[in-house]
Amino acid sequence: MKLIVAVVQDKDAIKLIEALLVKGYRATKLASTGGFLKEGNTTLLVGTDSSKVPEVLGVIRRTCKSREQLVTPLTPVGGPVDSYVPYPVEVVVGGATVFVLNVEHYEKV
Ligand code: 2BA
């Protein structure tokens, strides 16, 4: 058995959960915050049989879109604050960031 941990954008989360449920997968939705942007995102936990992992990854690929987002970098630590002009820069936020973990033991009590 595997545990798929997928960090996705909030905009894609509901659609992704619905697409997984329709195919018979179970999912847990956690509210999370990206360390870099400090903005809300969604982490989904999907426990499933190892043979089903490719199908789950396919659903994630089809559902989650990459988007460009503007970020204003923080003032450099120790740097000259008066001459620092914080220009917004664009970053591309996935898709999804996916980790597939081995599950040592699973049981429902
Ligand atoms: P954030 O940490 O808020 O990152 C949002 C986006 O900012 C990233 O998109 C990436 O394009 C950019 N970014 C992040 N760190 C950067 C850095 N040090 N320098 C320049 N740009 C940077 P994604 O890579 O698609 O990541 C989306 C979210 O997935 C992340 O939100 C984070 O919550 C999660 N994530 C990504 N990689 C991870 C990892 N290795 N471990 C745990 N969580 C991860």
Residue whose token pair is 């997928």: 6
Flag whether pLDDT at 77 surpasses 70: no
Kindly report the average pLDDT of the chain as a whole number.
Answer: 92
Residue 54 belongs to domain with CATH number: 3.30.70.120
Query: H helices within 23-104, ranges in order?
Result: 53-63
Q: Would residue 20 count as lying in a domain?
A: yes
Q: Would residue 108 count as lying in a domain?
A: no
Q: Using CA positions, which residue lies closest to atom 41 of ligand 1? A: 97
- In percent, the amount of the chain with pLDDT more than 70 equals 88
Per-residue pLDDT band at 81 (split at 50, 70, 90): low
Domain range spanning residue 23?
Answer: 2-74+85-102
Q: Using CA positions, which residue lies closest to atom 9 of ligand 1? A: 93
> How many angstroms separate the CA atoms of 8 and 81, rounded?
34
Number of domains in the chain: 1
The Cβ-side half-sphere exposure at 6, using a 13 Å CA radius, reads 29
- In percent, the amount of the chain with pLDDT more than 90 equals 77
- Cβ-contact 27, 20 below 8 angstroms: yes
Q: Which two tokens stand for residue 98?
A: 């996916």
Q: Would residue 10 count as lying in a domain?
A: yes
Q: Would residue 51 count as lying in a domain?
A: yes
Q: Would residue 89 count as lying in a domain?
A: yes
Count of Cβ atoms closer than 10 Å to residue 22 Cβ:
9
Q: Would residue 109 count as lying in a domain?
A: no
Q: Cα of 93 to ligand 1 centre, how many Å?
A: 7
Q: Would residue 79 count as lying in a domain?
A: no
pTM of the model: 0.89
Q: Would residue 33 count as lying in a domain?
A: yes
> How many angstroms separate the CA atoms of 44 and 92, rounded?
20
The residues with which 46 forms a beta bridge, in sequence order, are 4
